[in-house]
Amino acid sequence: MRYLNGFSIIFSMIFSALSLPQVAGAECFKSLPINELSSRNVDYFKDLANWRPPIKEAKEVKRFLPPGSGVGNMVNIDFYYVIFRKPPDKTLAELFKDIRLHFGEFARGATSDYDFQPYGKLFEVSAYSEENRKKWESDNPTGALMSFKLDTQFANPKTFAQKVGYKVVRTFKFAHPWGDVQSTCATDTDFVFSTVETVRGYTHPVAGNRGFGIRDAGNGNWIFYSKAVDRESDSYYNKAAPKSVFCHGHLFWLDFYSNVKNYLNSHGMPVQSVVTTNRGIVWWPFRSNEPPPNEPSCG
């Protein structure tokens, strides 16, 4: 009986350790320094370039897509942010959770060109969708599997014209609009999404990691930001996209941050600035002292 009691105590200790709340002050990734928010120094992005999920793949995830699994010799790095007056009645952690729980609203906006929802809803796996929703809406979303709808035009067949001899041959392909991500790290003030290949959602258009965070920006202001490192993935559907995958991603985040701005302004947190210009491709692997390659227009 004494051994059983001892086992019960040990089990309780282990269960308590696994249930511990997130530690304040911990972080999943590094923000850019507050005085270098426009920096293109690749050293500031190495943490996400080298990020390997410390957790296992969620159910229906076939594989994680780290930057090293991408194709080509270019990689997108970006740092988007919004600076706003801090609220008088919330902590950084409380507001960060509020923002996180409005990701669907920020993605959809007024036109619903994009979307964000728990993985499984699109495919009517209702029980699994509900499981991911609850995990995402909890205080610790680590492990939640979520889906971004990246561009409505991807959902339609694409027509291509190619000249073959004296003839113009027209073909069309279907492009997949969804990109699935798994939350692979979370604290009370930041988290990381890692792109994945899933059973139903196929392969995300990019291979990489994107972190989101919030911090004090000084002078009564806070900053909400995201930092990313991603390469084009080996998804077949990337071939059907009329723009580069990085252009499509940038257009998505322009809308997203515009909607974040509207949310903050409407909730008594006047926005001081929204910056979405610290983006673009650099060489892969990172080359610290070389100019970046020429980047195609997203127009």
Q: Which residue has the tokens 């293109």?
A: 40
Which of 18-27, 105-114, 231-240 has the weakest average pLDDT?
18-27
What's the structural domain count of the chain? 1
| 183 domain-assigned | yes
Position 237 scores a pLDDT of 80
- pLDDT of 238: 83
CA distances from 31 to 73, 102, 181, 227, 239 (A): 25, 22, 20, 7, 33
Q: pLDDT per residue over 14-63, tens digit each?
A: 333 333 334 445 899 999 999 999 999 999 999 999 999 999 999 999 99
Q: What CATH number is attached to the domain comprising 79?
A: 3.30.530.20
Q: State the residue for tokens 């041959």.
A: 169
14 lies in some domain: no
Please name every residue paired with 134 in a beta bridge, in sequence order, or none if there are none: none
In a domain, 139, yes or no: yes
Where in the sequence is the domain holding 200, given as residue range(s)? 24-283
Structural domain contains residue 288: no
Q: Please tell me the predicted confidence (pLDDT) of residue 5.
A: 46
In a domain, 214, yes or no: yes
DSSP state of 1: -
| Domain membership flag for residue 168 | yes
Nearest to 149 by CA among 114, 119, 120, 175: 114
Of the candidate ranges 58-67, 75-84, 118-127, 196-205, the one whose mean pLDDT is the lowest: 118-127
Out of 6-10, 89-93, 295-299, the most confident range is 89-93
Q: Is the dihedral of CA 46, 47, 50, 51 positive or negative?
A: negative
Residue at 75 is within a domain: yes
Any domain includes 89: yes
Q: Is the pLDDT at 159 greater than 60, yes or no?
A: no
| For range 139-144, the mean pLDDT | 98
